Amino acid sequence: MSCEHNHEEMLPEFAKVGQKVPAFTMEAFDPSEGGFCEVDLGALREKGKWAILFFYPADFTFVCPTELADLAAKHAELDKLGAEVISVSTDTKFTHLAWKTDERMLADVKYKMAADPTGEVSRFFDVWDYDTGLALRGTFIINPDGLLVSSEVNFYNVGRNGDELARKMEANNYLKDHPAEACPAKWAPGDKTLTPSEKLVGKVYEALND
């Protein structure tokens, strides 16, 4: 993307669920390596990886470290599902490094912490708050084909749930290989799915309780 980001193609105005997200890069801090790196969505796509972008308002704040710690607790599980976890805020990669070093709640964070200081990526995913210049709490799941399959946005004062993110990732991962099916509410691996057809109309109870 522009400035500290590099374009691979021009971005449309906003990301929309069900549409393809253009490949782009962001600078990042990599806690697992202890240095700076680049997040490249195009390279992840070529490897057949999912991408989870986890936007949050700012480093050195209050709800944010609880969310990143919760995400860290699910990181290994999400990684096994083929997902690259990337946190994103409008802070610089240098601030990410300092925060990771100082904040004990981030001790287990190993996923890359991407920098969006111009707010361009935040604006594309429609989490940019023009009044504050910060990103709202947005979570986006992009499948290996580059399609945005899940979007969640919270205001500043409500933290997210890593268990629900893992559940949604499991469901989307299952549906990638079973596109004719659909996952009902609270679906978890091993639960029944639905196969939409004219025979299912008005018969969902029977399909789930046979």
Q: At what angle do helices 162-177 and 63-80 cross, to 10 degrees?
A: 30
Residue 112: Cβ within 10 Å count? 24
155: burial class by Cβ within 10 Å (0-12, 13-18, 19+)?
Answer: exposed
Q: CA-based diameter of the chain, in Å?
A: 58
* Side chain identity at residue 102, one-letter code: D
Q: Are strands 50-55 and 137-142 parallel, antiparallel or unpaired?
A: antiparallel
Could you give phi then psi for residue 76, rounded to 5 degrees? -60, -40
3 has catalytic annotation: no
DSSP assignment letter at 134: E
How far apart (Å, rounded) are the C-alpha atoms in residues 69 and 64?
9
The one catalytic residue in 3, 37, 64, 183 is 64
By C-alpha distance, which of 16, 30, 29 is closest to 125?
16
Catalytic (active-site) positions: 64
